[in-house]
């Protein structure tokens, strides 16, 4: 049975309002931008007027069917906007705050949260995968019934009701298009460098895949002082953007990547290698790019059942570390603010990551451009003066 619509909050937004949203009704279909009814925020929830939302490959995993999500659903999990109403009991944010939205809400009390690993919190896994809010119901609906929320955010819409725990306030002088990218690509990439791999200044870093996340890894590596940053991608037109964000070298993935990297590193390999595509064949290849004693970090996401074979004796003899990083191993309340500060100080030039800008009505073009490998991150911009 589909989840029911929520009860109504006591606020000036005490009735449903009509918004515009990009709705996916079945896998491999085009998104439909159309009016939906949005219920007011319930207890512990806030209403967001969206300022910007990123177009991420993880959204396409829902479209392709890889994610196994139920339909209909409003996609979008990388976004930022302004709080314009709050439900009962909201304390973390207030009306008027500019916030970055987090697609992994955490409880703060479980084993993982207490261990400082809130990005691994499993408490809200059920509703998160079901596409509902924390209480198991939906705030979005059309004439046929409820419409689900990707990651409790559904930010490919003019407005969104989200849990307050998914909101992190940031300074209002951070542009929404920059703030939105802090919500996934930047945090995933920079956090993999800073929190998971702990890249050291003066080291050599190789980044396989120069999409939004890979470019963010490059930014993070430059920020921490890596001496050589090698970008690897099959699309030669991504080279300039990779260099603009900090890459010192570029290798065409269609050529002999191993030979070229060894030539750049005196036949040693890279201290740190990041796979940011999510393809098992590339993940296995990346191990050969990692020097003895070095670290390989998987950041790209393949299918849930993806596996690779690893030469365990070789890993032991060469003391290579193989690990993964989800969402930049982030504590979002800390890291979203920190990365916003790094942006403001010029240490993280997030604005250079933006390759294209679209209106919500252009969402299908934005998806096609992403799949075509156009450089940089695509961003949907909304009318900040709009109101439901």
In angstroms, the CA 64 to CA 25 distance is 12
* Burial of 283 (C-beta count, 10 Å sphere; 0-12/13-18/19+): buried
Residue 5 has pLDDT above 50, yes or no: no
pLDDT over 70, % of the chain: 95
| pLDDT value for 385 | 47
Residue 156 has pLDDT above 90, yes or no: yes
Within 10 angstroms of residue 263's Cβ, the number of other Cβ atoms is 11
The string of DSSP letters for 310-377 reads --HHHHHHHT-EEEE-SGGG--HHHHHHHHHHHHHTTSS-GGGGEEEEE-GGGHHHHHHHHHTT-SSE
- Homologous superfamily (CATH) for 191-325: NAD(P)-binding Rossmann-like Domain (3.40.50.720)
| pLDDT value for 10 | 35
Predicted TM-score (pTM) of the model is 0.93
In angstroms, the CA 145 to CA 168 distance is 31
- The partner residues of 252 in beta bridges, in order of sequence, read 233
CA 29 centroid distance within chain:
22
Q: Which of 308, 302, 269 is nearest to 288 (CA)?
A: 269
pLDDT digits (tens, 9 = 90+) for 267-285: 999 999 999 999 999 999 9
| pLDDT value for 273 | 98
In angstroms, the CA 51 to CA 157 distance is 10
Contact partners, residue 328, CB within 8 Å, separation at least 6: 119, 187, 188, 189, 190, 191, 192, 194, 195, 196, 335
Q: Do domains 17-170+349-381 and 191-325 have the same CATH topology?
A: no
pLDDT band at 383 (very low <50, low <70, confident <90, very high): confident
Tokens of 317: 């003899």
pLDDT digits (tens, 9 = 90+) for 299-345: 998 877 788 899 999 999 999 999 999 999 999 999 999 999 999 99
* Segments making up each domain of the chain, as ranges: 17-170+349-381, 191-325
Query: The domain 17-170+349-381: what is its CATH number?
Result: 3.90.180.10
Q: How many CA atoms lie within 13 A of 205 on its CB side?
A: 37
Average pLDDT over residues 146-173: 97
């Amino acid at each position: 049975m589909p989840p029911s619509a929520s009860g109504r909050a006591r606020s000036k937004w005490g009735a449903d309002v009509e918004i515009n949203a990009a709705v996916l009704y079945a896998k491999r279909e085009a998104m439909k931008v159309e009016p939906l009814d949005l219920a007011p925020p319930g207890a512990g929830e806030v209403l967001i007027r969206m300022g910007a939302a990123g177009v991420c490959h993880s959204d396409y995993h829902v479209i392709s069917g890889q994610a196994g999500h139920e339909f209909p659903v409003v996609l979008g999990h990388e976004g930022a906007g302004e709080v314009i109403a709050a439900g009962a009991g909201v304390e973390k944010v207030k009306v008027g705050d500019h916030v970055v939205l987090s697609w992994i809400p955490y409880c703060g009390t479980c084993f993982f949260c207490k261990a400082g690993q809130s990005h691994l919190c499993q408490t809200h896994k059920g509703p998160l995968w079901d596409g509902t809010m924390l209480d198991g119901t939906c705030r979005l609906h059309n004439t046929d019934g409820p419409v689900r929320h990707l990651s409790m955010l559904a930010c490919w819409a003019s407005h969104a009701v989200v849990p307050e725990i998914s909101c992190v306030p940031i300074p209002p002088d951070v542009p929404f298009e920059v703030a939105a990218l802090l919500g996934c690509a930047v945090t995933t990439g920079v956090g993999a460098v800073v929190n998971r791999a702990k890249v050291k200044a003066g080291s050599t870093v190789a980044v396989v895949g120069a999409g939004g996340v890979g470019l963010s890894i490059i930014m993070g590596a430059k920020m921490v002082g890596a001496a050589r940053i090698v970008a690897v991608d099959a699309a030669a037109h991504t080279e300039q953007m990779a260099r603009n964000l900090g890459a010192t070298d570029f290798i065409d993935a269609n050529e002999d990547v191993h030979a070229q990297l060894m030539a750049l590193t005196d036949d040693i390999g890279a201290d740190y290698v990041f796979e940011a595509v999510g393809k098992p064949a590339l993940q296995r290849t990346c191990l050969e790019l990692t020097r003895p004693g070095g670290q390989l970090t998987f950041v790209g996401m393949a299918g849930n059942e993806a596996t690779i074979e690893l030469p365990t004796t070789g890993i032991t003899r060469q003391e290579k570390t193989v690990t993964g990083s989800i969402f930049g191993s982030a504590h979002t309340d800390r890291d979203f603010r920190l990365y916003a500060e790094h942006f403001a100080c010029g240490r993280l030039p997030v604005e250079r990551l933006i390759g294209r800008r679209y209106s919500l009505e252009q969402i299908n073009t934005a998806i096609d451009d992403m799949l075509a490998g156009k450089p940089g991150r695509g961003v949907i911009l909304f009318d900040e003066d709009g109101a439901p």
